[in-house]
Structure 1
């Protein structure tokens, strides 16, 4: 309306016949620079003008979006444009949004031209409100409301407040598939992300409607049929219906199944630079099999990998299906190998702390060498196994101007590789237990490990410092050193009264025997002294009377490890196995040996690193040889507590010592250890970063046993008794934060005996850097 009135005023005020003007003036400018205004008007001094030119100038000014009203008149041979500018946006506020981040909403508003400093255009507000509601509707928030208020501000500015009521998420009441004849609805929806209300999972929001989830479920449905051979399958339509109050959603998916197809004939076409036998080994589908798209995809990947191992990194493998009338299909795998590719340069990024050489020495793919798919993937996995990085991505980038060269870009995301850890615990037997440790797995970015640990309770103190260089030689031979001191002073009335001091130093060398396996050899010199009180146990007294109370031992060790854990501090996949043997060598004051096996494995259940199954087992056996008939009691294994059988007191399980007073009792440990745990790791719905937060339900089992009991003991039985295995269940929660990693364990002992020491709650705390 203002455009029309301004134009009419111009037509009345300005002569219809062409005339000349001495000057042009623009009044009322605040936001638009005057130079731009004159440029838009397009008049020069002395230039003839008429009503048509004035109309064009007014239209051009309005088209800039700056003005809400324009008047034009002539004054003393000066053509005057009197403009009224629209206000600019001086403030923009979004309130009430929790589901969608403010940054994401602001980004969408900026694309619509609504941001601070821009010209305020009232006509866009309704479009913006509708767009915001559309975003919430897609998330199932059909009750969402968007209210936009405008307030005047000084200096011709406007403040805009967008108030959002997100409402409640609509629930899926029913999912109905129409047209399915060969498969029932339960089977078709088994892998759906969406679930009907009533599907019980306290940590799931699967019954909350979201458009993206339904679209994903339709893709899952399509993949299901294509993997069963239904090449003619199609989703003909899908409808979403809302209840009157917009709280309930009904989903209907209409399908046309068609019939399954079987493989009739397989063939190869194109150029084949490697032997046909290698290609045919990758083709697992046989003539007469039901067609499966997922199997075809796997075959294409296998052939591409086979070609990639010969340097054809950018080989293209396509399958050409030919459907026949009898519901069979001919499959032709067409291969275009391209040129052999060599690696020109390998670059690293994201490693602000870690030196390039630490990553480069893990690369099995070298610069200047033929690019091989298996070596590139092996390099990625070796870097992941370092445990220094939250993510590792390797990308091959063709070199411009060439057809046979690539650069490899290795992008890593560093995570905390150092820690200052503290632990606090309490049990009826040990009282308050606390510890401190500082370690750095990537010391000064070199990949070397340096650490110091200390733990203290009312009865003992332990101190240790260790250093490991995993690449002491360029061939991957490692060297490590450790110095430690341990002092135990048991003087509590419920604990055996004695003191034991250990001081030692050790040196180890490790040799790689494969990509994930190592052999490690070590030697440790240890001095041990024991001071018993008058109220010590019969077992301890018998040992001291037989062997003395001061020992100088030389302990040799050998271990084999096979480690392929991925994920750093909180692994998400892979396995780890360690088998070790320690022997106090002949010539030592004590001659004994200890054999230990520790093994664990992670299974990724959902493929998203959030649902995991974890199993871990520890077994140990030790005994004396030569002049020593038994394992020294200070080398015994113990069970109970964190890292063992949670729910029971720390080191409280197993055979009991005997005293002159029959009321005294405490665990003496044993020379046989059996401990295992099974964990189901699951995501918490309110947690986004599952790399730093882990929750698990666990089942622990284990105990220690002995081959050596005093003949006078009534609290000790020799050998392994399966009925003495202790069990517990519980919940563990670990949170790795930049401020403090916290670990909590809530455990229930399932079969504790009357004399067992139980602990329901244990926790650890610390900080990372």
Structure 2
């Protein structure tokens, strides 16, 4: 930097001398607008100035950060500022950043003034370099190195290259708690996110150090003590030591435990608008109990909800503790209910595809009505149950100028509701299995479902087109249609030798019973034709001889559902149960019925909803009645494959057919189905988007049975034999892609028997089992 006052210092020998200038000129400007430069120096024509004014102007110009050199001199009563501008940034490149996305880095750099076209400022470069280094250090990457290289370009420009070596995340070698006398280190660190590296967690990221993770663990440690009455607990210090090679981290936490307190007197105060007994019922602790902060938090939430259901939405509940020398603490609950609150408007955000009316019709909290906590929560739950949104958030905003009105803002995060479904597989029974489908659960944003599904094996083809409107009426009565066509094209080379054609249509109406339950009634008209080949099984021949080969049936059905699943395509909590009863009425050519029950439930194993336990069960039974003494063989249940027992080939389990010659038998299905799944769901390491990716370990069990065997089938046994239940164990990985759910199963059949067909690997696109 060079500043010249050749004339100025010769003329102005004292601060008291001042002179008027005829004009002011700024030479050397290329990037900055002259008007902006004149605003900075503040000189005007005819203005009196002295050396102090000149120094102030120079400091202001340098302070702007746009200039590297300034010379000031006077010539013919003209004060001239000869400036040299800093170069502009002509190129900006970022390389080596895998951990921090380039888009996020560019946003941060732009906010700091580092982008193409801006003036190059060395101080800014240094600050950015230090900040990037700090961010990597906070994530435990102490070996990370950030180097910013600046090189000149033509026309007073520079190229800025940010080169990053992220290094490896330092591993936590040891976590040591100092000062703990009442509890061991193992008890205190049990729920820590930071874990010591070891043999049993080579694929986990828990042993990778990060500052935010440690801060969370320190809060966990504080909660541990406060939930056990240690009101005087104090975190004395926490130190993080890094090995010289910057690969190992040692954490030391120094605490002062204090002593546990028990609850003394309990009191309640405030202008309560409801009977005190309704508040006291939520205060579950009593004198003599050990103090627990988490229990108090739960009590506060319960009291707020109780008053919130009466319209006091902004109830403020404070706890005033008074500690005594005898290690007791008195708790005074102070309640300020405020005024009753009404909802002025309900606004929706984030539903770019879904129409407002689809969300609004799920709301149990209405505009103009008293705002109640339970109705707001019920509304949130109902929108979550739609399955269209990965995240739903309801917030109340006070109406400016009022004390008793709020606006309810419903923010949703849409997830793909359409899918192109496909499946590819191979089994010894069915050969190549191909499936294709197009489904839209939120058709045109109306909440209606439109789908078309097709599947094909070496033997069968299935086509189904369906449409369902869950709000056919404003009262929530649903109506659905479907048409279907099924072709079973067997020839003498296949395991069965008959052709079956089915064509039909159905209609159903559903009625809401409660917020989660529905009752649906429907009817299906179906025409079935069967042509036997040259070598059909004994079972198919027997049925055709008894009942013929062409059937026109009218099937009535009733279905009850109870669903409270939350989380969309990958639920994180709740349950669903479906019971269905189908009966082929005497109006048609056959008389049979089928009863099915499907149920599943999720349990959260952590507050993060990343660790879950799931149970799923499926039971089915069918039989003939009247003139039909058995369930038609083409209505049988089947087991094996992704929907029942993974690890076994699709539809390969259960009773087998028979032949009079040496033809190998195959699975013919049965009229009794038992299947179940126990699943442990856990987050995949190094995956951040757990809303669209899920991994799990599972145990499947199931089989099909029959209570009607062909008299000549010596291998068939009637009834349920629990020793024939097949088991499998495996790993599932599911990813909700923008197109459709993608699922992989690796399963091991645990008790396969002679004749069973197994598949270790199964791949599906469009199925979330």
TM-score where L is the length of structure 1 = 0.96
Residues 588, 19 of structure 1: alpha-carbon distance in 2 compared, 3 angstrom cutoff:
closer
Equivalent residue for 2:24?
A: 24
Equivalent residue for 2:122?
A: 122
Q: Name the CA distance, whole Å, in 2 between partners of 1:763 and 1:49.
A: 83
Structure 1 residue 406 displacement after superposition: 1.1
Residues 53, 685 of structure 1: alpha-carbon distance in 2 compared, 3 angstrom cutoff:
same
Structure 1 residue 612 displacement after superposition: 2.1
Structure 2 residue 694 is matched with structure 1 residue 694: yes
Q: Name the CA distance, whole Å, in 2 between partners of 1:63 and 1:553.
A: 89
Equivalent residue for 1:726?
A: 726
Structure 2 residue 9 is matched with structure 1 residue 11: yes
Q: Mean alpha-carbon deviation: is it higher for 249-258 or for 141-150?
A: 141-150
Q: Name the CA distance, whole Å, in 1 between partners of 2:655 and 2:640.
A: 13
Q: Is the 8 A contact 1:420 1:767 kept in 2?
A: no
Residues 648, 280 of structure 1: alpha-carbon distance in 2 compared, 3 angstrom cutoff:
same
Structure 1 residue 231 displacement after superposition: 0.7
Equivalent residue for 2:424?
A: 424
Residues 66, 478 of structure 1: alpha-carbon distance in 2 compared, 3 angstrom cutoff:
closer
Q: Is the 8 A contact 1:149 1:162 kept in 2?
A: yes
Structure 1 residue 607 displacement after superposition: 2.6
Structure 1 residue 54 displacement after superposition: 3.2
How many residues matched? Answer: 766
Question: Secondary structure at the residue paired with 2:92?
Answer: strand
Structure 2 residue 745 is matched with structure 1 residue 748: no
Gaps of 5+ in 2: none
Equivalent residue for 2:298?
A: 298
Equivalent residue for 2:352?
A: 352
Question: Secondary structure at the residue paired with 1:197?
Answer: coil
Q: Is the 8 A contact 2:436 2:453 kept in 1?
A: yes
Equivalent residue for 2:761?
A: 761
Residues 440, 47 of structure 1: alpha-carbon distance in 2 compared, 3 angstrom cutoff:
closer
Residues 575, 40 of structure 1: alpha-carbon distance in 2 compared, 3 angstrom cutoff:
closer
Q: Name the CA distance, whole Å, in 1 between partners of 2:552 and 2:397.
A: 60
Equivalent residue for 1:657?
A: 657
Equivalent residue for 1:543?
A: 543
Structure 1 residue 600 displacement after superposition: 0.6
Residues 569-584 of structure 1: pairs in structure 2 closer than 5 A: 569-584=569-584
Structure 1 residue 199 displacement after superposition: 5.7
Q: Is the 8 A contact 1:199 1:207 kept in 2?
A: no
Residues 753, 402 of structure 1: alpha-carbon distance in 2 compared, 3 angstrom cutoff:
same
Structure 1 residue 110 displacement after superposition: 3.9
Equivalent residue for 1:320?
A: 320
Q: Is the 8 A contact 1:693 1:735 kept in 2?
A: yes
Equivalent residue for 2:453?
A: 453
Residues 125, 8 of structure 1: alpha-carbon distance in 2 compared, 3 angstrom cutoff:
farther
Question: Secondary structure at the residue paired with 2:281?
Answer: helix
Residues 254-312 of structure 1: per-residue CA shift (max 9 Å, x gap): 11111111112222111111112211121111222111100000000000000010000
Q: Name the CA distance, whole Å, in 1 between partners of 2:212 and 2:5.
A: 50
Over the aligned positions, Cα root-mean-square deviation in angstroms equals: 2.0
Q: Is the 8 A contact 2:8 2:74 kept in 1?
A: no
Q: Is the 8 A contact 1:734 1:743 kept in 2?
A: yes
Q: Mean alpha-carbon deviation: is it higher for 117-126 or for 358-367?
A: 117-126
Structure 1 residue 217 displacement after superposition: 0.5
Structure 1 residue 42 displacement after superposition: 3.8
Question: Secondary structure at the residue paired with 2:510?
Answer: strand
Q: Name the CA distance, whole Å, in 2 between partners of 1:121 and 1:542.
A: 91
Residues 545, 180 of structure 1: alpha-carbon distance in 2 compared, 3 angstrom cutoff:
same
Structure 1 residue 136 displacement after superposition: 1.4
Q: Mean alpha-carbon deviation: is it higher for 252-261 or for 29-38?
A: 29-38
Q: Name the CA distance, whole Å, in 1 between partners of 2:224 and 2:49.
A: 73
Structure 1 residue 654 displacement after superposition: 0.5
Residues 432, 134 of structure 1: alpha-carbon distance in 2 compared, 3 angstrom cutoff:
same
Residues 10, 284 of structure 1: alpha-carbon distance in 2 compared, 3 angstrom cutoff:
same
Q: Mean alpha-carbon deviation: is it higher for 28-37 or for 711-720?
A: 28-37
Question: Secondary structure at the residue paired with 2:486?
Answer: strand
Structure 1 residue 40 displacement after superposition: 3.5
Q: Name the CA distance, whole Å, in 1 between partners of 2:42 and 2:598.
A: 85
Structure 2 residue 242 is matched with structure 1 residue 242: yes
Structure 1 residue 10 displacement after superposition: 3.5
Q: Name the CA distance, whole Å, in 2 between partners of 1:108 and 1:355.
A: 35
Equivalent residue for 2:286?
A: 286
Q: Is the 8 A contact 2:205 2:686 kept in 1?
A: no
Equivalent residue for 1:708?
A: 708
Q: Name the CA distance, whole Å, in 2 between partners of 1:246 and 1:19.
A: 64
Q: Is the 8 A contact 2:420 2:740 kept in 1?
A: no
Residues 646, 398 of structure 1: alpha-carbon distance in 2 compared, 3 angstrom cutoff:
same
Q: Is the 8 A contact 1:737 1:767 kept in 2?
A: no
TM-score where L is the length of structure 2 = 0.96
Q: Is the 8 A contact 1:422 1:437 kept in 2?
A: yes
Residues 202-255 of structure 1: per-residue CA shift (max 9 Å, x gap): 442111111111111110000001011111111111111121212111111011
Equivalent residue for 1:167?
A: 167
Q: Name the CA distance, whole Å, in 2 between partners of 1:316 and 1:390.
A: 31
Q: Is the 8 A contact 1:9 1:71 kept in 2?
A: no
Equivalent residue for 1:468?
A: 468
Q: Is the 8 A contact 2:492 2:533 kept in 1?
A: no
